[in-house]
């Protein structure tokens, strides 16, 4: 079996960094991804996909990414359920990222930002699966 997702798109908001009760960093952001085809009015359609990143990758994304940045995300699709504030059971689809690459440079020059097309944590591997308890997810 295979569960692999590769996306290229722009962040619709700044990454939100949080920590689980056990102290594991986790960040979330949304990616706007254009579809290859257009609708009947000749307009491109866009999907807005939730992305979740863990551990050092989460901290790196939170520190160096912002709304509008172009990134490539390699990860897996995850479907999970949770109870909202009113006690209603909700289901959400999100991509858990194994790797995130910057595909552009920030508008303002920032030191420490990896060059275009490089891995955000160059020299470090984020390809391994990270185990976690879904109840620890803070959002």
Residues 43-90 have pLDDT tens digits of: 888 999 999 999 999 999 999 999 999 999 999 999 999 999 999 999
CATH of domain 5-115: 2.40.50.140
Rounded Cα distance, 88 and 75, in Å: 28
Domain boundaries, the chain: 5-115
16 touches 139 (CB < 8 A): yes
Say how many CA atoms lie within 13 Å of 50 toward its Cβ: 13
87-132, pLDDT tens digit by residue? 999 999 999 999 999 998 877 654 444 444 444 443 333 333 344 4
What pTM, to 2 d.p., does this model score? 0.74
Q: Under the phi-then-psi rule, with left for phi > 0, alpha for psi from -120 to 50, and beta for the rest, what region is 107?
A: alpha
Q: What is the pLDDT of residues 3-18, one digit of tens each?
A: 999 999 999 999 999 9
- What pLDDT is recorded for position 72? 98
Distance linking the first and last C-alpha atoms of the chain:
28
């Amino acid at each position: 079996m295979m569960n692999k997702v590769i996306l290229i798109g722009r962040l619709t908001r700044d990454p939100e960094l949080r920590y689980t009760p056990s102290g594991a960093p986790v960040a979330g952001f949304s990616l706007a991804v254009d579809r290859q085809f257009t609708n009947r009015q000749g307009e491109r359609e866009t999907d807005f996909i939730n992305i979740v990143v863990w551990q050092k990758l989460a901290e790196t994304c939170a520190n160096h990414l912002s709304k509008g940045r172009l990134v490539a995300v390699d990860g897996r699709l995850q479907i999970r359920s949770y109870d909202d504030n009113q006690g209603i059971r909700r289901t959400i689809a999100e991509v858990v990222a194994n790797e995130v690459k910057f595909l552009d440079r920030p508008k303002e020059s920032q030191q420490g930002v990896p060059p275009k097309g490089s891995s955000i944590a160059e020299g470090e591997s984020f390809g391994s699966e990270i185990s976690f308890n879904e109840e620890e997810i803070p959002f």
